[in-house]
Amino acid sequence: MSTPHKPLELRRLWYLDGRKMALWSERSRRRLKRETQAISQALAPQIPRSCTHVRGHGGVKGALRKIQRRVPKAKFVARFDIASYYTSLRHDVIEAQVAATDLGPHHRRLISDYLTLPDTRFTGRGMVASGGLSPLLGALYLTPLDRRMDRLCQRKGLVAYVRYMDDIVLLARTRWQLRRAIAALHEEIAALGLHLHRVKRFIGRTAQGFDFLGYRIRAGARLRPSAEGLRRLRERARRLYEREGDWQRLRQYVLRWWRWHLGGLDGMVRWKGGVKRTWHHVLTHLGLKHPPG
């Protein structure tokens, strides 16, 4: 006799930076943590490796390594963000994709609860951004796009296609190849009920440089922090110092950031000035010239 399904218990919903967040009951949190691993093992093989945020697919640094190695072969680049990604995902599409996998009915019902319980207005769209299942289901949702772009790479229509969550990069040898890939991307995105961000995009030559995942990438040059990456560093450093007023903690934070910035990129990062330059950059923007006291 099978164990009866116990629905998830939702305690509270709120919004943070436009994204829906959820607080589940303690029992539901433990259950989600436990069963997400099993669901991941079943779904991850269905997701192309060009989707790099899935565990074992390379992560941030794997995505950057791939792009940096392929940039010399490409003259043109397009970088896009998907607008309102989590809030636009259709539940019927996700459930159909899940049903096509080897997941059993127990896990499919769990996913259905995870999607529908926070949908208090019964829109049939959207997903919370605070749960462990969200990155995995978000990755699965765009597999039709990933597979089509991978086919274009195999046919030499693209030098590279890389996706990290809702951030997408296309590299091409010619302008015509890039236009063809962008047209295909628009077709797949529209079929899934999504659209690209109108502002967060770049289309041009790789020699001009473009931003991706906190780094500035340019053909013929090493990686360096992007303007947005440095802005986030300054903002987090400011919050840390305002909260604790601890000079050493601030220094340790900047050092950890610098080590992470270099780590896993095999000498691909420009490090002129080292951590000392980054430290002075932070101090200057915080208005600090000397250690207090």
pLDDT reported for residue 6: 77
pLDDT of 131 > 90? The answer is no
pLDDT of 65 > 90? The answer is yes
Mean pLDDT of 61-77: 97
Query: Quick one: which of 97, 86, 78 has its CA closest to 177?
Result: 78
pLDDT reported for residue 273: 84
Per the prediction, the chain carries an average pLDDT of: 92
Under the banding of pLDDT at 50, 70 and 90, the label for residue 293 is very low
pLDDT reported for residue 5: 66
pLDDT in tens, 19-58: 899 999 999 999 999 999 899 988 988 899 999 999 899 9
Q: Please, how many CA atoms are within 13 Å of residue 103, restricted to the half-sphere of its CB?
A: 29
Under the banding of pLDDT at 50, 70 and 90, the label for residue 291 is low
pLDDT reported for residue 244: 82
Distance CA 74, CA 66 (A): 12
Residue 43 makes CB contacts below 8 A (sequence gap 6+) with 98, 101, 103, 136, 139, 140
Question: CA-CA distances (angstroms) from residue 81 to 60, 155, 195, 199, 202?
Answer: 15, 25, 9, 9, 10
pLDDT of 2 > 50? The answer is no
Mean pLDDT of 118-147: 93
For helices 227-244 and 247-262, the axis angle rounded to 10 degrees is 150
pLDDT reported for residue 164: 97
pTM: 0.91
pLDDT of 3 > 60? The answer is no
Mean pLDDT of 69-73: 96
Under the banding of pLDDT at 50, 70 and 90, the label for residue 266 is confident
Mean pLDDT of 193-222: 95
pLDDT reported for residue 187: 97
